[in-house]
Amino acid sequence: MVQVYNFKGNKDGAKLLVLGAIHGNEVAGPLAISRLMQELEAGKIKLVSGTLTLLPIANPEAHQKDIRQIEENLNRVINQWETPNTYEKKLGVEVAKLIEACDYMLDVHSTHNAGEIAFSFLDYATTGNLKIVEALDVDYVLSGWPDVYGSQDEIVDFSTERYVNFIGKNGLTLESGYHKDPAAIDLAYQSIVNLLKNLKMIEGSFEKKEKRIVKMTDIVIKNKEGHLADKFKHFDFLKKGTLIAQCDDGEQIFADKDCYMIIPNHHCELGAEWYYLGVLL
Ligand SMILES: [Zn+2]
């Protein structure tokens, strides 16, 4: 159902899985992975140890149609379902099998709006995951996602990142930026190459980028009509006392601490996540 490519080094070593297009229209991952594959095949990059498994297009039908998904969000149904009854659940089983066979996973996504900043998630700060983060070519790392969702029973999250960590492996999600921006493809490509170096799968060193780790502290659900008070963008820094939102009934919501705005939704419907806040770790 999906096309998987394996590359083996001469020596034993880490098993790294790289995923692209879990969401069909996020093209930065597939393009970065295919660039890497060409270089491996041409001998420009030589795998010295371990096994590299590449799944450039995890959702082929959605990718072909340039849409996010066919029946449901693949990044919520990664699991060994006994009777997978949707297209994505069937793919979810394939991806879960690949995750079970790896030691490290990098799941490459890209975002939908120009100017959006690249970052990675770090849901579980294990030694193995920090080794992955070290290699990524991003300035920001977002941690604590499962904690803020802990209180929200109705949200069931079978993401790649949850699955890989749930079964005791290492892995995380890279959001490489706006997917039509060539810089997002470069960033994804460079991050994978750095990770291969950090896992000693290819030779060479790389410059470790210093990261700001932002821990999510608040999830704010929009429970009455209103609007965000500014054109906030992801990772905007807000000083304590900044007006964040203006409700139609006159209520105003202010930042109760120095914090970062996380994934603001300017077109939020009632009952959905309006924005999140986080602080530097
Ligand atoms: Zn995505």
| Whole-number pLDDT of residue 155 | 47
For tokens 């579980």, the residue is 124
pLDDT by residue (tens digit) across 175-220? 999 988 899 999 999 999 999 999 999 999 999 999 999 999 999 9
Q: How far is the CA of 10 from the centre of ligand 1 (A)?
A: 34
The most confident of the ranges 111-125, 169-183, 238-252 is: 238-252
Q: How far is the CA of 23 from the centre of ligand 1 (A)?
A: 5
Q: How far is the CA of 22 from the centre of ligand 1 (A)?
A: 6
Upper half-sphere CA count for residue 61 (Cβ side, 13 Å): 12
Compute how many other C-beta atoms are within 10 angstroms of the C-beta atom of residue 227: 14
Give the Cα separation of 122 and 171 in Å (integer): 9
What mean pLDDT comes out for the span 141-149? Answer: 83
Q: How far is the CA of 109 from the centre of ligand 1 (A)?
A: 5
pTM over 0.85? The answer is yes
Amino acid letter, residue 278: G
pLDDT by residue (tens digit) across 43-98? 999 999 999 999 999 999 999 999 999 999 999 999 999 999 999 999 999 999 99
* Nearest CA-CA partner of 169 in 230, 136, 124: 124
| Whole-number pLDDT of residue 144 | 86
Amino acid letter, residue 57: I
Q: How far is the CA of 111 from the centre of ligand 1 (A)?
A: 7
* Nearest CA-CA partner of 261 in 123, 142, 109, 108: 142
| Residue 88, both tokens | 């994505």
7 in helix, strand or coil?
Answer: strand
**Domains by residue range for the chain, with CATH:** 5-210 (3.40.630.10), 216-280 (2.40.50.100)
